[in-house]
Chain A
Amino acid sequence: MTDTQYDRAPGDASALPDVEQGASSGVLVYTIGLGLAVGLTALSFWVANTSLLWVGGISLGLTVLAIAQMGVHLVFFLHVTTGPDNTNNVMALAFGVLIVALVVVGSLLIMADLNDSMMPAPELMNLQMQH
């Protein structure tokens, strides 16, 4: 029976949909996920508002916390795992993440570069002309 049910739909917790999983274990998974997500969210808000941390590292820290929380949501709420029955879902996710990273990082890099090579403002041009 297990051989014919080798793939798993994203969002399904069990590899065998017809096998009844204990409802309590499912509730436990969602509750752990909620606890972790609430903790990470609270940490994000604290990091953004505290004066204890070095200001330059705060945006990096917030990014790391957001990535961690995305992982918590994927594992505990969407049940995306590294198991063999989940390969297709993970591959699609990896492709999505690649495109998202290309779009966001590419746009920021290109726009920052464009800003750098823009013609300076007129008053600056005048200063250069005066030399």
Chain B
Amino acid sequence: MNVAVAVDDKVRYEARPSAGEAGPATKRVVVGYGFWVFLLSDIVMFSAIFAAYAVLNHATAGGPSGVQLFNQRSVAIETGCLLASSYTCGLMSLAIGSRRYAATYWAALITFVLGALFLALELREFAGMIAIGAGPQRSAFLSAFFTLVGCHGLHVTAGLVWLVVMMAQVAVKGFRQTVERRLLCFSLFWHALDIVWVWLFTVVYLMGVLS
């Protein structure tokens, strides 16, 4: 019994307040974590599309292959746009943290413009490919390509709409806690999209040109 008490005391003495024992987490932590789990599930969905693309990479059915279709200069500019918009999105988070309205609007505007530029370049690339008969119905490779890149493009479009809605909320409601939590989720979403794009330009555009 003595031993048991000693052990019990020791455990109680040494135990630091872990995440579970510190009481319920704040709403910001819970919301952020929930959105983090959603983002990871979204990335799992992307991984399935990536796997489909990698399997169908050489199934061109006699049609054009990646080497003939991809323009690396345009891809490099798209990558630069998305990277810079991720940076300005981070600056927007800092402006929100210190509750500066003007800096938030400016950072959001630059983020939006860079995201829209990315989207415009991508749509131009799609239109050019469809114009020369390399649409999604041409081969399994092109179906997988349009699914993968188009899915990322749809996410960027949704992010742009979300950004406009969030700026309207900041303008109308100000920096309330609910608005700040939504802005946290938006910045997580935007940075996660950039991670997906890193894999996209590596696997599709750079490795596709190798072979």
B interface, size bucket:
35 or more
Q: Is B98 an interface residue (CB 8 A)?
A: yes
With an 8 Å Cβ cutoff, the count of chain A residues facing the other chain is 58
Name the prevailing secondary structure of the B interface residues: helix
Instruction: Say whether, besides A44-B202, A59-B210, A96-B40, A11 and B32 are in contact (CB < 8 Å).
Output: yes
Instruction: Say whether, besides A99-B44, A100-B43, A100-B47, A73 and B31 are in contact (CB < 8 Å).
Output: no
25 A-B pairs within 8 Å (CB atoms) are namely: A5-B22, A6-B19, A9-B28, A10-B32, A20-B97, A21-B97, A26-B97, A30-B90, A34-B84, A37-B83, A38-B80, A41-B76, A41-B83, A44-B202, A48-B209, A49-B72, A55-B210, A65-B202, A73-B86, A77-B90, A92-B33, A93-B40, A104-B47, A104-B54, A108-B51
Contact call A4/B22, Cβ cutoff below 8 A: yes
Residues from chain A with Cβ under 8 Å of B23 in the complex: 4
Interface string of B18-34 (1 = CB under 8 A from A): 11001101101101110
Name the prevailing secondary structure of the A interface residues: helix
Query: In the complex, how many angstroms separate the beta carbon of B210 from the nearest chain A beta carbon?
Result: 6
Interface string of A15-54 (1 = CB under 8 A from B): 0010011010011001101100110010011011100000
- Report the nearest A residue to B54, measured CB to CB: A108
Q: Is B79 an interface residue (CB 8 A)?
A: yes
Instruction: Say whether, besides A62-B202, A88-B33, A104-B54, A38 and B83 are in contact (CB < 8 Å).
Output: yes
B50, B94, B188, B207: the one contacting A26 at CB < 8 Å is B94
